[in-house]
Every structure is written in structure tokens, then in C-alpha cells.
Amino acid sequence: MTANTETDALRRAVRDYLAAVSPSERVRELMATEAGYDQAMWRQLARELGLHGIAVPEEFGGAGATLTELTVVFEEMGAALLCAPFFSTVALAGHAILCSGDRSAMEDYLPPIVDGSMTATLILNGRLDAWDPQAVTLAAHGGAGGYRIQGEAEYVLDGHSADVILLAANTNAGTSLFAVAADASGLSRQPLATLDRTRKTARLRFDDVPARLIGTDGEAAPGLARTCDLAIVALAAEQVGAAQRCLDMAVRYARERIQFGRVIGSFQAVKHRCADMLVLVEGARSAAVHAAQSADGDDLPSAAAVAKMACSEAFLQVALDNMRIHGGIGFTWEHDAHLYVRRAKATQLIFGTPDRHAQRLAGLVTAERTS
């Protein structure tokens, strides 16, 4: 089988599975629960489809594939608005462990992540902003006898349900990465009601919480910067998948809805809007694919910034246009269009807004030209 054939097979397998176990009705059921996901389905995703370990090296139980294959999974999950801690566990925590260079941590945490027996998340800063060492607010004190974490993180993806919380914290040596168990003393977790109800968020407070140092004290910043870029690429793939689903919904409705004795898809205004949506989706897809292919290159930061800008803006615009094409019904709670608008706005804001990444890209280009 060629690489493209294998990727197509992976896409079909994930799409068919999600269509069966995560239709719109199930999404609405799960987003109303406190946990926010189905544990049985979570284990199936890991053990039967092997999705958790696609980009994890084989020595730790994974398939050893690349980010390109993993983004195919995220694209299909974005299309289905899957309610599961997959992004926080795989894109954030999994990459943070791999980027830490700590082999002991990889041996301890990656196998249970791969087999679905552990969920995890990562706190880069307390507000889901783009990575910035100056924005780290948690503090760690201690040393050889053990570290303790102090502070509060206001927004943590799946923070209320994660079995392990990885976090960036400041020590006397600099920015460091730590792991905290969910049942650690001094840790309090409060679920939050946010715009996107399909992806859970929590507020976490650390009051002298015992923690395990991951990697070398004071040297976590480069690995966390790379982790954030890889997570942004995964998020961009999610946005592309969701935008494609919105386009499909709009085109299907335009072909079926009759007004003034004609299907509305025959009206020029509707045709032009659908065409514009297609252009946005394909442009975003190109940016996301390029970013995934740049994962091992020096241009990952700039490719991730471009993907975040293009995919965020495309998804939000396409989600809004899908709602408009559906007319009055598209604005109701009963229709799924508003769920995609909520996801679009939320993903536009986390890990840096398009404007923030435009500024970042300008800085990267300027630095490259002057070097």
C-alpha cells in the first residue's frame, strides 16, 4: 500500500467509526454530562483503532507514524465534534512528554496513554494562550526531596477529569515541566461552563501540591514551545475537518430547501456563498497539511502560525455562513449549526488569536531575514 492509500484507509476507518458511535445525538448527550465523554468509547479508540498511539514511537507501544497521519484523525474528530479528551491527552500531554527528552517519563506515561488507561492534559499557562515563558504563572519549589506546586490555572482543557496533569512552572532554575497526579493532596478542580460545550474546561488550584519533575529543571521551554506548535497543527486539522462538515451541511441543505418554487441552491447569492466557503476550506486545508509536513523541520513555528491564522478564520466564517444558509432554523438550539459556530469561536481564541500569530509570523520572518 502507498502512503496515500494507507492515509485514505485510516480516514475512512475513523470516519465510519465516529459516524456510528458519535452522531449528533450522542454528542449532545455527552456534552451535557460532567465527565464530557464516554469511557467505553475512549478505550475503543485506543485499543481497537489504535488512535492514541499513532504518532508515538513503537518502543512505547505506539505505531511510530508521523504528525501527518495523526492530523487525519484530528480532522475527522473535528468534523464529528467528538466529545473526548483526545486533544488534551494526545496533542498536548503526549507531545509534551515526547518533547521533554525524559525517557523515564516516556516509559511511565506513554504506554498507559496509548492503551487508553490514562487521560492527561497540559497547562502551558493558566489561560490557554499561546506559549510564552513570561506568561507562566505557576511556581514550583523544592528540590531533590521533591517539588511542590503553587498557584492557579484558570482554564485547563479537560482539567477536571484528567488522570495526570502536566504543567509548566517556574523554579529557581527557570521554566520546568512537572507531572501531578489527579488525586494529589492540595489539588482542587472546578469544571467550568464555557462557550464550546463539546470540549470541557476546568479551573485548577494548586496549594503546595506534590509534583514530579519531567526532564531537566529549568530547561523545559524549548520542548514546550515545540509542543505548543504541534498542538496548534492538530487544532488546525480539527478546524479543517469541522469547516468541511459545515460546507457539506450547507450544500446539502441548499440542494434540498425549496423557496419560491426553486431549490435555494439555484439562487446566485447562495451559490456564490457556497463557492466562497469552498475556497476558504481548501485554503485552510493546504495550510494545515503544510504545517503537518513541516513538523520535523525548522519552519514548524512559521507553518504553525500560518495554519492557526488560516484555519481559525476559515472555520469561523464557514460556520457562520452555514448557519446563514440554513436561515432561521440554523440559529436554533435544536440545529447543529450553532455547535460548530461555538467550536469555531473557541478554537479561534485558544493558543493565540489569528492576530497574535500574524505578529508572531512577522517576527519570525524578520528574524530570518536579519540572520
Domains of the chain by residue range:
3-118, 121-220, 222-370
Q: Is the pLDDT of residue 249 over 70?
A: yes
The CATH architecture that domain 222-370 belongs to is: Up-down Bundle (1.20)
Q: What ranges make up the beta strands (E) of the chain?
A: 120-123, 139-143, 146-157, 164-171, 174-181, 187-192, 201-214, 258-259, 262-263
| Mean per-residue pLDDT, 292-296 | 95
Where does residue 252 fall: left (phi above 0), alpha (psi -120 to 50 degrees), or beta otherwise? alpha
pLDDT band, residue 253 (cuts 50/70/90): confident
| Mean per-residue pLDDT, 66-89 | 97
| Residues facing residue 199 across a β-bridge | none
Domain 121-220: give its CATH code.
Answer: 2.40.110.10
Instruction: Tell the CATH superfamily of the 3-118 domain.
Output: Acyl-CoA dehydrogenase/oxidase, N-terminal domain (1.10.540.10)
| Fold matches, 3-118 and 121-220 | no
Instruction: Round the average pLDDT of the chain to a whole number and report it.
Output: 94
Specify the pLDDT at position 361: 94
| Mean per-residue pLDDT, 317-344 | 92
Distance set, CA 320 to CA 95, 97, 330 (Å): 32, 37, 9
Burial of 26 (0-12, 13-18, 19+ CB in 10 A): middle
pLDDT digits 0-9 by tens, 98-156: 999 999 999 999 999 999 999 999 999 989 999 999 999 999 998 767 999 999 999 99
User: CA 289, CA 70: separation in Å to the nearest integer?
Assistant: 11
User: CA 170, CA 37: separation in Å to the nearest integer?
Assistant: 32
* Residue in the structure block whose three cell numbers are 435555494: 264
Cα angle 354, 69, 214 (rounded to 5 degrees) comes to 75
* pLDDT above 90 as % of the chain: 86
pLDDT digits 0-9 by tens, 173-187: 999 999 999 999 999
- Are 191 and 184 in contact by the 8 Å Cβ rule? The answer is no
pTM for the model: 0.95
User: CA 140, CA 117: separation in Å to the nearest integer?
Assistant: 28
pLDDT band, residue 1 (cuts 50/70/90): very low
Specify the pLDDT at position 3: 56
Specify the pLDDT at position 266: 65
User: CA 56, CA 112: separation in Å to the nearest integer?
Assistant: 12
Distance set, CA 346 to CA 201, 315, 325, 343 (Å): 11, 11, 22, 5
Element at 325 (helix H, strand E): helix 300-325
